[in-house]
Structure 1
């Protein structure tokens, strides 16, 4: 009876130790982050300044 219990214990340990399948592991592609060229903070200022200059020129012409 002890040998049967020992055999069952070894069989149970062997099945849990080798659980899983034999398929190839799936490797995920690495994430590549591309840094864009940072524009200067004054780039958004040119359009309002140009608009202000045009308005000032129109007002000065009157």
Structure 2
């Protein structure tokens, strides 16, 4: 019975010694915000106006 208690005590002691083992540091990814400009806005508006004029002219 003493051997069983000793084995249980050693098992508990060994498991708690490794509980806080070394881990790789977790690095948060850096977020980079970039401003984008789109030249499509200058092209889309005249095309829409052209389509509206063409639709009105076809009636």
TM range, normalised to the smaller chain? 0.3 to 0.5
TM-score by length of 2: 0.43
TM-score by length of 1: 0.42
